[in-house]
Each structure stands twice: as structure tokens, then as C-alpha cells.
Structure 1
Amino acid sequence: MATIRSREDQDGITIGWQAQIKRKGFPLQVKTFRSKAEATQWATVTESEMLRGVFVQRTESEQTTLKELLDRYSREVLPTLKGGYREQSRIKALQVGLGTYSLAALNSSMIAKYRDKRLSTISEKTGRLVSAQTVKHELGLLQRALKMATMEWGIALPGGIPTVMVKQPSLPSARDRRLIDDEEARLLAECANSKNLWLRPAVILAIETAMRAGEILESFGTADTTTGVRPQKTLGLQWADVDLKKRTAHLPKTKNGDARTVPLSTRAVATLEALPRSMDGKVFGTTYEGIHQAFVRACKRAGIEGLTFHDLRHEATSRLFEKGLNPMQVAAITGHKTLQMLKRYTHLRAEDLAKLLG
């Protein structure tokens, strides 16, 4: 049986009620409440859970806020992850929206309200509504942090991990922009006229290999607000990793964390052979930020609308299928881990499929 005692101040005035449960096989449970009714209810529920074998020690989850958990996750986990710096903005958003709640109080309803509020929020960075993809990444981070708390740090959550019961925001349809008609010729012609001499070979390599922009070019993140330093996001392609005789480009670090070796077409090899060699070992003597601006201007001059540099990866992936490669072969080249993700980057033309039918 639980023991319920009143708590008095120095003047003998009752200021609260303490419930204490001593039961063999369980740690001592002590909690103080404002009213006797609350203390009695807690003791009844806790003893019932002990009898049914479903009791969960709540002390640490009640004393730990989500902000504190995410701070620990930031200190101990993010430094071990490739691209962990990208999670900092997501942690900040979660701490602003849910950080004051204890882990024990956090539930699926709160998280669903957070999801809906974020989807209706204007981003300070872009001036547009926060995207469904951004919110999905935030909920994914929250789930990973809660899972770490329960599995590695011994913080039991009374109701389990609440994020698993929350519906993910619906993502927009995958982009299906491909080069049409003579757009490739027009684009490359304007790339050749660009002041950025690296633009045309970078575009050709993207079309021929399906490599991500960061796998081709060095790129940087947002500058730190205190130091002004922009962290390096990707190193870009290095000559040390290119073998023109074997016609391969090795990528030791990729977005999904796995290394892969990309085969080079005859056109890709010819493009690389024509490039000058630099002392720093980089294949391209520019950054993605520099290429991006030059690419936008080249598209405008060529009269091409709605095309992004990342769309070239879609184009290249689709062409690999049109050449007759099977999904496993294409995934080995592009680095996609699942066929579902590969499908999002693949847009086959009906006329090309008709040719295969004979």
C-alpha cells in the first residue's frame, strides 16, 4: 500500500502531499503533489502498473526537458555524424516549439500540433512557408533523439516514443524536369560563354555521371553568426580519386555516408582530360556557390525556364535507364539506397520506352 503524508511549512500549514510507494522488486517511488487527491490518484495508477508488470521509472523523464535532451544529442551524437551540422537548425526549431516540455509529458498530440504550426510558419531564411520536407526532417531528428534516450541513455518514456504515432507531412510530387528538345545544346552553348570557365565541364559531368553537385564541387554552409566562418560542406571531386585509364571517379564521402565509385563515359573522360590541373588537387577550381550563380545566368540567356543544377542528376539517372541499365546497376552509379528514392529521380520519356518495345 502507498503511504500518503501531508507536508507542512514552518508554521504548520499544509503546503502539499507526498505519496510514497514501497514494493518488493521495485525502486522506492516518492512524489509530492499539491492536493491529496492528486497524490492518491498517482499512487493508485503506479501500484496498478506494478501489479500488471508495466511499470516504467518516470523520474528521469519527468526531470529532463526536451531542450536538455536535444542539447545532449547535439554535444554527444552530432559530432559523430557526417553532415551533423545540418541538424543544428532543426534542433533549434524543436527547442523553440517543444523544448520546455519534459520527456514524460511529451505526447503525439503535442507533436502533431508542432507539425501543423511549423507548416504554417514563414521561414526567416527563405521568406516562404517552411516546407513539408523540412518538417519531416525535424520530426525524424526528434525520433532519433528520443530513441537514443531510451536505448542508450536509459531514460524510459512512459508512453513509448510518441513520434511513431504522428503522421508525417505529405511531400509534394517529385520534380520531373528534364532537358527537352534542344535545351542541352542551348545550355552548353551559354555555359561556354560564361565568365566562369568551370561551368560547362561541371554541367557535362553532372549529365554524364548523375553525381550530386557537392560530389563534383566544393561547397560551404551558412556562416556562423558569431565567427562569420562558413563551414565546408563538401570537398568536391579530387584528382587523386580520378582514374582516367580505368574511367572511374571514386567518391570516398557522399551524402548518404557510403563511398562509391562512379564509371565515366567517353564524354566525361574527354571533359576531364581537357581540364587544367591545380596544385590543391581539386578537379574544379570553383565552388558550388560560384557555379550556381553562373548556371542561373546561363539558363536565362538560353531562354530555359524551371531548370536547376540538381535537375541534371534527374536527367542523368533517367538516361542510365534509357540506356538499358537495370535498377541495381543504376543505384550503384547514383548511390541511391532504396528503389523508392531512385524512382523519385527517374523520369523516363514515353517515346524512348516505345523504342524499346520495337
Structure 2
Amino acid sequence: MATISARKGPDENDKMVVIGYQAIIRKKGHPSQTKTFRAKRDAERWARQIESEMERGVFVQRTESEQTTVNDLLDRYAREVLPTLKGGYREQSRIKALQNSLGAYSLAVLNSSMIAKYRDKRLSTVSEKTGRLVSAQTVKHELGLLQRALKMAVMEWGIALPGGIPTATVKKPSLPPSRNRRLVDDEEERLLAACADARNPWLRPAVIFAIETAMRAGEIVETWKLNKKTGKREMVSIGLQWSEVDLKKRTAHLPKTKNGNARTVPLSSRAVATLEALPRNLDGRVFGVTYEGIHQSYVRACRRAGVTGLTFHDLRHEGISRLAEQGLTILELQAISGHKTIQMLLKYTHLRAEDLALKLR
């Protein structure tokens, strides 16, 4: 049975008056629970709820979740978890967005309705960076980060959530159809010709290598990003190193990738020939250029070639699709591309109908 007692304190005239009510619950098999309220009816309502949960065997200790805000949770996640993740820098902007809207709430009161409202508000917000509405993919990443942080709180940090993990029941934003940009007609020939005329001597071999290996840009060339907190540029990836290439075995071993898993990429004859024609840099890099330098040259080359809407990342898409058209299985494609799940890989394997038709003859 709960005990509810009045708490007294001095008023403005130093007269002792009731300033609140403290509810104490002691029940065998459970730690004692204490909470103070301004109104007696609130103390009684809380006590009835907690006692009912204890009797039904569904009671969850609320102290930690009541004392921990979303700000506290995400700060700890950024401090303890992000440094261990490959590409953790990407999460900083997502954390900021979540904290701006949900940061003041305690984990005990955070519910699916609040998160659904956050989702809808974000989808109708204009991004300061792009000047366009925040994309569904961005919001999906933000909700995913919040869910991972909440799971960490429950599973590793001993913070029980009375209502469970609220993100689990929130519908994720519907994503637009994935990009399906492939090289068509004589686009590859025109693009490579424009790359050959570029001032940047690394552009053409980098483009060929990207198509042949389906590697990410950051796995091919050195990549830097601006840290918005410090205002300084930080290296994200060092790019492919000669020490990771075995021309005899025709492989490139990638010890550090976007998803954190190492993988070995097979090299086609064209990829090997491209590497053999490159000069050897003293610093060990295969391509002596940064992604920033490649990107600017690539955009100009596309413009000269009359190739529109083809990003450098689309070359990876092109490479994976070509491998699929050669008859590789989904599992083989996954081993080469480094995608964590088959579902993530499927959006890249847009096969040409005419190539599939040849297999049906």
C-alpha cells in the first residue's frame, strides 16, 4: 500500500504550509518507489498506476528514464558510440536535428506520437543547406539513429523505458523510387573522351576504375569532409593504396569501408590495365588526387560530353548492374559491393531488358 504524506515548507511569511505530497510505495520483490507532487490527487494517481503495474508484473523502473533527456542520451551516444563507427561523422547533423526538436523531453515521456510529429515536421521543413524540403531518406536516417540510441540505452546502459522503444511503432517515411541512371548509347565513349581532355590526369583512369570495380568514391580516392563543429576539414578516407593491390591475383583489399567491414574486390582485365598504366606515387596512394579534385573535373567533363544527370556515384551503380548482367548471383554481388543487406543491393541491380532477353533465347 502506498503512503502519501504532506511535505511542508515556509511560505513568504515564514509560515509552515503544505508545499507538496510525497508518495512512497513499498512492495515485496520491488525496490521502493518515491515521487513528490504538488497536488495530492496526482500523487494518488501515480501511486495507483505503479501499484497496478507491480501487481500485473509489468512494472519498469522509471528513475533513470525520468532523469535522462533525449539531449543526454544523444550526447552520450555521440561521445561513446560514434567514435567507434566508420563514417560516424555523418551522424552529427542528425543528432543536432533530433536535439533541436526532441532534446528537452525525458526518455520516460518520449512516445511514438511525439516522434511521428517530429517526422512530419521534418518532412515539411526546408533545409538550410539545400534550400529544398528535407528528404524522406534524411528523416529515415534520423529516426534510425534515434532508435539505435534508444536500444543502446536499454540494452547496454541500464535505462528502462516504461513504454518500450517508441520508434519501433512509428511508420518510416516513404522513400521515392531509387535512382536508375545508367550509361546509355555512346555516353561512356563521350564521357571518357571528355575525361581524356581534362586537365586532371587522374580523372579518366578513376572513372574507368569506378565502373569496373563498383567501388565507392571514398574507397578509390582520398576524401575529406568539413567538420561543422570545429570548422576544420577532416580526412574521411585515404583512398586505395598500392599496398592493398595485388595485380598478380587481380584483387584490391579494402581494410576500411563505409560499413566498417573489410572486403576484397576482384579486378577485371580492364581494371588491371588501368592500374598498370598509372604512375606510382611516393605516398602510396593509387590515385594521387582527392575526391574534391575528381568531382570538380568530373562535373566539367560531363558538361563537355553532353552527359546529364550522371553522378560519380552512379558509376558504382553502373558497375554493379554490369556485374549482375554478367550472371553473378546476388550473394556474389554483395561480396563485391560490400552492401550489408541484400535489400540495400537490389536498388542497384537495374538490369537492361534487352540483356535479360538474350538469356531467354
Fold in common (TM above 0.5): yes
Structure 1 residue 109 corresponds to structure 2 residue 113: yes
CA distance in structure 2 between the aligned counterparts of 1:240 and 1:121, rounded to whole angstroms = 46
| 1:209 alignment partner in structure 2 | 213
Gaps of 5+ in 1: none
CA distance in structure 1 between the aligned counterparts of 2:141 and 2:313, rounded to whole angstroms = 20
User: What's the secondary structure of 1:283's corresponding residue?
Assistant: coil
| 2:132 alignment partner in structure 1 | 128
Give 1:289 deviation, angstroms. 1.1
159, 163, 166: which one aligns with 1:162: 166
Q: Contact between 2:253 and 2:263, CA under 8 Å: does it hold in 1?
A: yes
| 2:287 alignment partner in structure 1 | 284
| 1:261 alignment partner in structure 2 | 264
| 2:8 alignment partner in structure 1 | 8
User: What's the secondary structure of 2:110's corresponding residue?
Assistant: coil
User: What's the secondary structure of 1:321's corresponding residue?
Assistant: helix
Structure 1 residue 252 corresponds to structure 2 residue 255: yes
Give 1:81 deviation, angstroms. 1.4
CA distance in structure 1 between the aligned counterparts of 2:335 and 2:28, rounded to whole angstroms = 57
Give 1:178 deviation, angstroms. 0.2
| 2:38 alignment partner in structure 1 | 34
1:82-121 map, 5 Å? 82-121=86-125
173, 178, 185: which one aligns with 2:182: 178
| 1:330 alignment partner in structure 2 | 333
Give 1:127 deviation, angstroms. 1.7
Deviations 1:130-151 (A, max 9, x none): 1111111111111111111111
| 1:52 alignment partner in structure 2 | 56
Give 1:339 deviation, angstroms. 2.0
User: What's the secondary structure of 2:303's corresponding residue?
Assistant: helix
User: What's the secondary structure of 2:52's corresponding residue?
Assistant: helix
CA distance in structure 2 between the aligned counterparts of 1:53 and 1:221, rounded to whole angstroms = 50
CA distance in structure 1 between the aligned counterparts of 2:87 and 2:325, rounded to whole angstroms = 33
Deviates further, 81-90 or 201-210: 81-90
Deviations 1:203-229 (A, max 9, x none): 000111111111101101124443x32
CA distance in structure 1 between the aligned counterparts of 2:335 and 2:159, rounded to whole angstroms = 40
| 1:355 alignment partner in structure 2 | 358
Q: Which amino acid aligns with 2:99?
A: Q
| 2:316 alignment partner in structure 1 | 313
CA distance in structure 1 between the aligned counterparts of 2:34 and 2:145, rounded to whole angstroms = 33
CA distance in structure 2 between the aligned counterparts of 1:36 and 1:200, rounded to whole angstroms = 76
Deviations 1:299-339 (A, max 9, x none): 11111111111111111111111112222222221112322
Q: Which amino acid aligns with 2:156?
A: E
Give 1:246 deviation, angstroms. 1.1
User: What's the secondary structure of 2:232's corresponding residue?
Assistant: coil
Structure 1 residue 239 corresponds to structure 2 residue 239: no
Q: Which amino acid aligns with 1:138?
A: E
CA distance in structure 1 between the aligned counterparts of 2:360 and 2:52, rounded to whole angstroms = 68
Give 1:80 deviation, angstroms. 1.4
Deviations 1:40-64 (A, max 9, x none): 0000111111111111111111111
**When the two structures are aligned, how many residues end up with a matched partner?**
357
Q: Which amino acid aligns with 2:259?
A: N
Runs of 4+ with deviation above 3 angstroms: 223-226
| 1:342 alignment partner in structure 2 | 345
User: What's the secondary structure of 2:281's corresponding residue?
Assistant: coil
CA distance in structure 2 between the aligned counterparts of 1:310 and 1:79, rounded to whole angstroms = 26
Q: Which amino acid aligns with 2:95?
A: I
CA distance in structure 2 between the aligned counterparts of 1:223 and 1:146, rounded to whole angstroms = 25
User: What's the secondary structure of 1:105's corresponding residue?
Assistant: coil
TM-score normalized by the length of structure 1: 0.98
**Share of identical aligned residues, percent?**
74
Q: Contact between 2:86 and 2:257, CA under 8 Å: does it hold in 1?
A: no
Q: Which amino acid aligns with 1:332?
A: A
